[in-house]
A and B are shown apart, each in its own frame.
Chain A
Amino acid sequence: MKSTEPEFAGHFEQLAQGRLCFPYCAACQRFHWYPMPLCPHCRADGWQWRGINGSGTLYSWTEIHHAFDARYTGALPYIVALIEFPQAPGIRLVANLVGTSSMGLAIGQAVSADFSQVLAGSGPLVFRAHAVAAS
């Protein structure tokens, strides 16, 4: 993914290697997202990318049925998930959830990253749902 913002690049470079990384500030020991030039919590310069395993939980999701952009017309419907990670508290990631229908999902459900597309350079990061959490 090309972007004019230099602080974005590391995320995609790491993703291409199969690693999910977020900005982590050693000064205040907090993650932030999306990447900003300075840590938005403490204004420290020089945060680092910190990798996490791809295990998360579903904070919310939506199944999209309308092509807001013509390039998605053939992909409808698709699921956009908002995911939280125990290893990166305080932030949430937007990504597609595949291999499931919206009917089978529940908030709090465990999901995990599937890096096969990014490693092959054939598409963005996707997540897959585990069995519904008992909650």
Chain B
Amino acid sequence: MDIAIAGIGHTPPVRRSPKNIRHLAIEAIQAALDDAGLEGHDIDGVITDGVIMPHTVPREFIAAQFGMTRSFDGGVSFGGAGVAAAPELAKLAIGARKARTVLFYFGVDWGSRASGPYGFHDMYPAKMAFEKPYGFNAQPSYFALWARRYMHEYGMTDADLAVVAISHREHALRNPLAQARTPMTLASYRAARMIAEPLRVPDCCLISDGVGAFIMTSLERARDLRQPAVKVLGSSFASEAWSGDDIFTQQAEIFRVTGAQAACRSALAEAGITLADIDFAELYDCFTISVLMQLEDLGFCARGESPDFVRERGIGVDGALPVNTHGGLLSHSYLLGVEHMIEAVRQLRGAAGAAQLAKADIGLVGGWSIPDYGVCVLGRDAR
């Protein structure tokens, strides 16, 4: 059975919100329901990630608040991969007639939380024992090691990273809601404070408070709802035999994106298309180097070629492959990719404002929760 995204909602991107995470979730979910023209009692399946939200805004809290009697509930991965793989789970449930209308929501309050994103990895015992005592306890430091190694193997320079950062910022300047809207040049990029060499402030994602939500139902039913339906053409989760403890330091080729190739192949096969059919991509840009790695492992270019790809083919709105048309995690907000799915839906509805692409028929959303990866391919409903 074909399914579609029928409603989207999110809170305004902000570093610190005066609202707590439960209030933010309620606001985002209400917005998604309103967007679809549905009521809470229309939802009979709820999906979120399996690690973060259960401790902050559990499914049953949302159900109780909105009056949702469910026949299906699920938790998938954590953060980004879960966002992009949620439609896979919803499609299984809706296709099996276990649910008719499925809500997905996800968000973080890492802007307000004292430990921010960095405390998240304290859940990994080996990282606590063998890494934190050396001051190696935060995401920028892992990606810095990867970026340095990538520079060594493929000759990448900070100017290549700057191309990615500047492209994302240019997109954010088209989006009045984006958190980071100061224009960026190579000179201002290079003048920015170093965080973990070679990564500077503009190489690292923002930190945000916020929640996003989307509603999935059968394509047939979505066509009767308030908004233009956006088809889920394919959605897939993939992961490999690594843990959060060892993936950051022990993989033979350290910057390979585990799960990306498998999830992408599976989602494209489900959609019956190839990468050449993709008009734009919303990729998990936790760091500038992350975008380059994913372009390679998803198959848009070969290993080592992503710096040339972003420079010559282009990832801006006028480029060969527009990437993160809202500004991404680098310049829009850091809600771990739920905003990427929402932006893809906006593009496919033709409702992306000043960042609207001339051609937006099929978009790819890549979600990353190392070592997990999720891919969702969405399409305009051209019936």
Contacts and interface: CB of A to CB of B under 8 A. Distances in A.
A35 interface: yes
B2 interface: no
Contact of A124 (B134, B138, B152): B134
B196 A8 contact: no
A107 B149 contact: yes
B128 interface: yes
A30 to B, nearest CB: 12
Interface string A1-40: 1011100100100000000000000000000011100001
Chain B interface secondary structure, helix, strand, loop or mixed? helix
Contact of A33 (B132, B146, B246): B246
B125 A4 contact: yes
A35 B126 CA distance: 8
A69 B134 contact: no
Interface in A91-116: 91-92, 94-96, 102, 107
Interface in B304-353: none
Contacts of A44: none
A61 B148 contact: yes
Contacts of A60: 145-146, 148-149, 152, 254
Contacts, number: 103
Chain A interface secondary structure, helix, strand, loop or mixed? mixed
Interface residues of B, number: 35
Nearest to A78: B135
Contact of B125 (A5, A33, A66): A5
Contacts of A1: 129-130, 133
Interface of B: 118, 125-126, 128-138, 140-141, 144-146, 148-149, 152, 193-199, 241, 245-246, 249-250, 254
21 contacts: A3-B125, A4-B125, A5-B125, A33-B246, A34-B129, A40-B241, A62-B141, A63-B197, A65-B195, A68-B118, A68-B138, A69-B135, A69-B137, A75-B135, A80-B135, A80-B145, A92-B249, A94-B136, A96-B134, A107-B149, A124-B134
Given A3-B125, A33-B246, A107-B149, 9 more contacts: A1-B133, A3-B129, A61-B148, A63-B196, A63-B197, A66-B138, A68-B118, A68-B141, A92-B250
